[in-house]
């Protein structure tokens, strides 16, 4: 159990108290208000425990993403400037440095044990497409991914023909964080969190 404080509605409150408030809220709209503050604190502190606690509350309350909730749990509260700045930073890098960043992110994603199936490359693709490149890159993503796959990546996890199944798995016309049911949500969130951690020191708008 963590004992740090969270700023909420003008007061500093113990994190466990805010979690209890979210759990016991009389309706989901009130719970959502607390969860926004909690997810934001989890992002700032890079606290996976708190993020997990928040997701557990959402699951138990039957909560799903809504227009009132920020688009990604790794980027709460909704801060357009952060995503815009991250994308601007990424697109401003040389191709070599872009690949270096993505390669390091893949190493950390693998070490987190979240990435454990070839199909999880679809989650990586969605983050690169929707958060970083802004381009419909599916047709050449397999070759692109091979360029930033770590050299010591397990053979069974290296990208293969999984991209040919993307449209069968998800609605490719929507941004991944707007999907009501994204089977790669955990991979997407973890990969995006990792990208933000890696580039945060270089961003000017945090």
Q: What's the rounded mean pLDDT across residues 51-62?
A: 85
Confidence of residue 137 (pLDDT cuts 50, 70, 90): low
Give the range among 77-86, 129-138, 185-194 with minimum mean pLDDT.
77-86
> What's the pTM value of the predicted model, to 2 decimals?
0.60
Closest CA to 125 of 107, 148, 108, 156: 148
Q: Render pLDDT for 77-118 as a digit per residue (tens, 0 to 9).
A: 444 456 778 888 888 899 999 999 999 999 999 988 889 988
Q: How far is CA 142 from CA 162, 163, 176, in A?
A: 9, 7, 18
């Amino acid at each position: 159990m963590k004992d740090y404080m969270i700023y909420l509605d003008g007061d500093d409150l113990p994190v466990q108290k805010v979690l209890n408030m979210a759990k016991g809220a009389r309706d989901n709209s009130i719970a959502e208000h607390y969860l926004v503050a909690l997810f934001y604190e989890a992002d700032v502190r890079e606290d996976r425990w708190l993020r997990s606690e928040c997701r557990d509350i959402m699951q138990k309350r039957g909560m799903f993403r809504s227009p009132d909730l920020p688009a990604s749990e790794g980027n709460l509260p909704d801060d357009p400037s952060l995503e815009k700045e991250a994308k601007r930073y990424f697109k401003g890098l040389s191709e070599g440095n872009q690949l270096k960043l993505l390669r390091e992110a893949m190493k950390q994603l693998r070490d987190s044990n979240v990435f454990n199936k070839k199909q999880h490359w679809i989650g990586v693709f969605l983050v690169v497409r929707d958060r970083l490149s802004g381009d419909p890159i599916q047709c050449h993503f397999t070759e692109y991914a091979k360029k930033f796959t770590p050299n010591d990546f397990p053979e069974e996890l290296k990208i293969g023909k999984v991209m040919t199944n993307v449209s069968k798995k998800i609605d490719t016309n929507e941004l991944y964080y707007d999907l009501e049911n994204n089977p790669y949500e955990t991979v997407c969130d973890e990969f995006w969190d990792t990208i933000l951690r890696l580039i945060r020191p270089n961003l000017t708008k945090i």
